[in-house]
Structure 1
Amino acid sequence: MIKVMKFGGSSMGNIDALKRTSSIIANDPAKKVIVVSAMSGVTNYLIKCISERPDPSSMIDHLKHKYHTAVQDLLSGDHFKVCMQEIDTSLSALSEQLKIRWEADSDPVLEDRIFCWGERLSAILLSNILAGRGISSVAMSSEEAGIIAEGTPTNGSADLELTHANLSRTVIPLLDKGITPVITGYYGVNNNGNPVTFGRGGSDYSGSVIANCIDADCYEVWTDVDGFMTSDPRIVPEARTVDEMDYGEAAELAYFGAKVLHPRTVEPVRQKSIPLIVKNTFNPDGHGTLVRNQKCNSTEIVRSVASKGDLSIIKIYSSEIVYNPGLISRLIASVSEAAVNTYAISTSLSTLAVVLPTPAIPCVLSKLNALHENQIEKMTVKNNVSLICCVGDNMINTFGVAAKVFSTVSATGANVEMISEGASDVALNFMVPSEMAEDVIRSIHRKFIGG
């Protein structure tokens, strides 16, 4: 059996977490590839430093203290010496990159290289910890493994075909020799040799890409929660773990609010029907959530309800929308040029409504105004709205689901601002005022899930 195990920042975050993580790996008999995120707080620190530009030596001293402390607590003898040397060598290379960056006003390509340095340090640290436990292991950067990416800085995508060919040469032979590779998550490398990150939380996606490209039997995501929940427990204290769901449900929840997985994690494993299991590093004996290509035949209409805030609705009014298909194409293309996620689109006889992140609204409006479309009569923006996502694999086949959901919403006094239904077989999405979102979630959970 071959599995990919991804460990997030909380699983790498401190001495206790690193001990737990290394024990989980050591106790698993399968051939495995380990994918790691940066230690908790490291990526945020690097991003903050790019904007504040502190002296590079002070940055390196801060990181050196963090990693040296972990090495001193967890390793001894030759393993200690080797790890300290590798950490210091990596930090010296980072210092040089920072000096180059400080000389430029802006360099998104170099910034992406810096942002993923925490993953490089994590791979070095964990591979040496495993070696100290007698596990043959090697740290590999995404460059060394051959994870090929395309796209723009902070918004990359993996080229699965090229990556598959590379991992067949770089990773599979190590597994055949009984060696455990520890590979950097979060980024790949483009044809020019530059790192391209996959967005925040992108290590989940990295692990899924690797699972796809080595034809793994299983992909495990180890994090600090027990799996997908029926809702956010901070909003619904009685929320419980969902034992099993299909790929579609997990993908919808990841994209529309649940913070368990990077939104793009599901697709690479779904392509090859590789089971995905979300597990808790701090509760390793827990069941977790199994995600696979199989309907669960649950009697529950709604399996989980999530929300996504900080959204706005742009409405574009034109009497030509329904009669001029080219107009809609130009409007959508203009929104796409802003390179932001679109969470819902709805049309009527004379209106196009688009749900977007609120911080992106000024840029999108600028793009739309630049079209100089005399057919646009006006544009309005409604801020402070949240998207509610109800997920369940029986929803599409159950009569009257929408009526029951919206009756429940109405009882809270919330107005439904926009509805997206029918595009997904497993989800019903709609917008409500942000100040009502938590009440709506609690009411839907109580009505359809319980508690």
Structure 2
Amino acid sequence: MKRIVMKFGGSSLEDGDKILHVANIIESYFKSYSLIVVVSAMGKITDELLKASERAEKGDQDYIKSFTEYIKDRHIKALKASIKREEVQKETVKSVNELCDELYKALTGVALLKELTPRARDYILSFGERLSALIVGGALIDKGLRVKVLTGGEAGIVTDSNFGEANPLMEATFYQVKERLEKLLQDNIIPLITGFIAEDQYGRITTLGRGGSDFTATLLAASLKANEVWIWTDVDGLMTSDPKLVSNAKVIKSVSYEEAMEMVMFGAKAMHPRAIEPAMLYKIPIVIRNTFNLEAKGTLITDRVQVDKDRPIKMVALVKDVGMISLVGGSMVGARGTAALAFSTLAKQGINIMMISQSVSEADISIVIKREELSKAVNSLELNMLGKGVVREINYEDDVCVLAVVGAGIKYIPGIAARVLNILAKEKVNVFMISSGSSNSLSLVIKEKDSKIALQKVHDEFELDK
């Protein structure tokens, strides 16, 4: 029987009616497939838990009490809407109450100490997935299905102790997941696993970072040699562009792993970039599907690279809320370590560089960072690099964005960049910086005021709506 890992995101689990819909989907596929189910927290719960942990750090015990009651009420309301049998409902209510009491104690401990360690934050954030898994599990049991609810750590996912952004220890994870879940699958029991959560080697709860539920799904798929991973979300699949900005954007039928990774990095709403790697390594197809539009076929992500000469690119996107910094100086030519000093200066401030360009003359370096970090970055660079006889001036632009063009055709077909630049020139859109990374994408910095027309015209030039 074909083995499928299904992951349901927070938008698919926002309330009791949606959880019941998810349970119906799982039930409809259960007879045809061997299923492993991964769930995120209910919609927006993770953000609310993060806010509560920060309020707890300030010692706000009144907020903790009201917040815990809110969490309890929301989840009990959801389970009553999705679970009909009284005995199943009663048992699930009991489990939810116990978890909420545990959450209250954890938040109170933080409030008393007025200290929120990374380990404590991970522990508090884990309650979102643990609560939603109880309810989805109850809804499936209510339908007569055999289910085993497990946290990611209980399922066998083991990580290092980098709380907040833990890294899986692959060999240990593969061994433990297979050891703990294979028997359940053979007995026709659905393992229902919390996404996002794992454990380190000492049994302490860790989290895999934002988008970690997608990562959980592909890790389980690789460990259990699943045939496919289905990512259930609230969109029909990967799109040729943002439909809010490009009215004729459409769903992309299929892309390669590398193309998909570029697309999600540039903001395509579907899954987390890091989650693609385990599937890519073991050539496990991923399907992006819409929980609320079951007729939609979605987007298939595989190792197959398809290049259409008539439509060599597959997506055009905008990356907004960025700023550009330029370091200029004739003395930079041949001066060793200039770029390294700039990068290390920003790294010390915790600022990530999104895009880099340096002219062959070595007389200037341009970088793109998040706009919210622009002021801090410019101040740090000026303090560390001006007046030392190398960098003459540091300029910045805070009204720019990145136009990203994605598709394997960029690597295999000559002239793609020329076509993009030509259409932008026709629209009198100036390009301040250009970069081509993995050869599956082309990134261009333009003024934000030109972004919408640039996006639409490039989309039309490559006939992405056909």
- Give the alignment's TM-score, normalised by structure 2: 0.90
For the 8 Å contact 1:302–1:449, the answer to whether it is kept is: no
Instruction: Report Cα offsets for 1:286-336 as digits up to 9, x if no partner.
Output: 110000000224331221111111111222335465524434334334434
Among candidates 77, 100, 115, match of residue 109 of structure 2: 100
Cα deviation for residue 355 of structure 1 reads 1.4
CA distance in 1, matches of 2:218, 2:404: 24
Where does 1:63-212 land on structure 2 (aligned, <5 Å)?
Answer: 63-75=71-83, 76-103=85-112, 104-150=114-160, 152-212=162-222
Pair 406,195 (structure 1): closer, same or farther in 2 beyond 3 Å: farther
| Comparing 376-385 and 219-228, the one that deviates more | 376-385
Who is 1:44 aligned against? 47
Where does 1:201-280 land on structure 2 (aligned, <5 Å)?
Answer: 201-280=211-290
CA distance in 1, matches of 2:228, 2:8: 15
What SS does the corresponding residue of 2:166 show, helix, strand or coil?
Answer: strand
Cα deviation for residue 83 of structure 1 reads 0.8
Pair 178,49 (structure 1): closer, same or farther in 2 beyond 3 Å: same
Cα deviation for residue 127 of structure 1 reads 1.2
For the 8 Å contact 1:257–1:389, the answer to whether it is kept is: no
Q: Tell me, which stretches of 5 or more residues in structure 1 are unaligned? A: none
Q: State the one-letter code of the partner of 2:125.
A: F
Who is 2:294 aligned against? 284
What SS does the corresponding residue of 2:273 show, helix, strand or coil?
Answer: coil
For the 8 Å contact 1:246–1:295, the answer to whether it is kept is: yes
CA distance in 1, matches of 2:230, 2:66: 37
What SS does the corresponding residue of 1:354 show, helix, strand or coil?
Answer: strand
CA distance in 1, matches of 2:139, 2:164: 30
The reply on whether 1:315 has 2:326 as its aligned counterpart is: yes
CA distance in 1, matches of 2:358, 2:43: 42
| Comparing 256-265 and 361-370, the one that deviates more | 361-370
Among candidates 30, 34, 40, match of residue 33 of structure 2: 30
Who is 1:391 aligned against? 406
Instruction: Report Cα offsets for 1:238-286 as digits up to 9, x if no partner.
Output: 2111111111111001001212221222112101111000000001221
CA distance in 1, matches of 2:167, 2:381: 27
Instruction: Report Cα offsets for 1:204-242 as digits up to 9, x if no partner.
Output: 222122222222211110000000011111111221111
Cα deviation for residue 193 of structure 1 reads 4.0
Q: State the one-letter code of the partner of 1:225.
A: V
CA distance in 1, matches of 2:136, 2:352: 34
CA distance in 2, matches of 1:134, 1:339: 51
CA distance in 1, matches of 2:200, 2:332: 40
Cα deviation for residue 79 of structure 1 reads 1.0
Cα deviation for residue 338 of structure 1 reads 4.3
Pair 341,377 (structure 1): closer, same or farther in 2 beyond 3 Å: same
For the 8 Å contact 1:303–1:391, the answer to whether it is kept is: yes
What SS does the corresponding residue of 2:66 show, helix, strand or coil?
Answer: helix
Task: Determine what percentage of the aligned residue pairs are the same residue.
Answer: 27
Cα deviation for residue 392 of structure 1 reads 1.7
| Comparing 247-256 and 294-303, the one that deviates more | 294-303
| Comparing 15-24 and 353-362, the one that deviates more | 353-362
What SS does the corresponding residue of 2:284 show, helix, strand or coil?
Answer: coil
Q: State the one-letter code of the partner of 1:392.
A: G
- Give the alignment's TM-score, normalised by structure 1: 0.93
Q: Tell me, which stretches of 5 or more residues in structure 2 are unaligned? A: none
CA distance in 2, matches of 1:376, 1:36: 51
What SS does the corresponding residue of 1:181 show, helix, strand or coil?
Answer: strand
What SS does the corresponding residue of 1:227 show, helix, strand or coil?
Answer: coil
The reply on whether 1:425 has 2:439 as its aligned counterpart is: yes
For the 8 Å contact 1:303–1:449, the answer to whether it is kept is: no
For the 8 Å contact 2:152–2:216, the answer to whether it is kept is: no
Pair 184,438 (structure 1): closer, same or farther in 2 beyond 3 Å: same
The reply on whether 1:295 has 2:305 as its aligned counterpart is: yes
Q: State the one-letter code of the partner of 1:14.
A: D
Who is 2:461 aligned against? 447
Instruction: Report Cα offsets for 1:48-99 as digits up to 9, x if no partner.
Output: 3234445222111101111111221222222112111111111111111111
Who is 1:416 aligned against? 431
Pair 334,271 (structure 1): closer, same or farther in 2 beyond 3 Å: farther
| Comparing 188-197 and 35-44, the one that deviates more | 188-197
Q: State the one-letter code of the partner of 1:155.
A: E
CA distance in 2, matches of 1:363, 1:195: 34
Pair 450,245 (structure 1): closer, same or farther in 2 beyond 3 Å: closer
CA distance in 1, matches of 2:224, 2:200: 20
CA distance in 1, matches of 2:270, 2:155: 26
CA distance in 1, matches of 2:333, 2:324: 20
| Comparing 353-362 and 58-67, the one that deviates more | 353-362
Cα deviation for residue 105 of structure 1 reads 4.0
What SS does the corresponding residue of 2:439 show, helix, strand or coil?
Answer: coil
CA distance in 2, matches of 1:37, 1:175: 21
For the 8 Å contact 2:218–2:278, the answer to whether it is kept is: yes
What SS does the corresponding residue of 1:265 show, helix, strand or coil?
Answer: helix
Q: State the one-letter code of the partner of 2:7.
A: K
Cα deviation for residue 339 of structure 1 reads 4.4
Who is 1:358 aligned against? 371
Cα deviation for residue 364 of structure 1 reads 4.1
Q: State the one-letter code of the partner of 1:71.
A: L
For the 8 Å contact 2:118–2:163, the answer to whether it is kept is: yes
Pair 450,297 (structure 1): closer, same or farther in 2 beyond 3 Å: closer
Instruction: Report Cα offsets for 1:320-377 as digits up to 9, x if no partner.
Output: 6552443433433443444454321111212222211122335545665675683444
Q: State the one-letter code of the partner of 1:226.
A: D
CA distance in 1, matches of 2:379, 2:159: 30
- How many aligned positions are there? 450
CA distance in 2, matches of 1:188, 1:413: 51
What SS does the corresponding residue of 1:27 show, helix, strand or coil?
Answer: helix
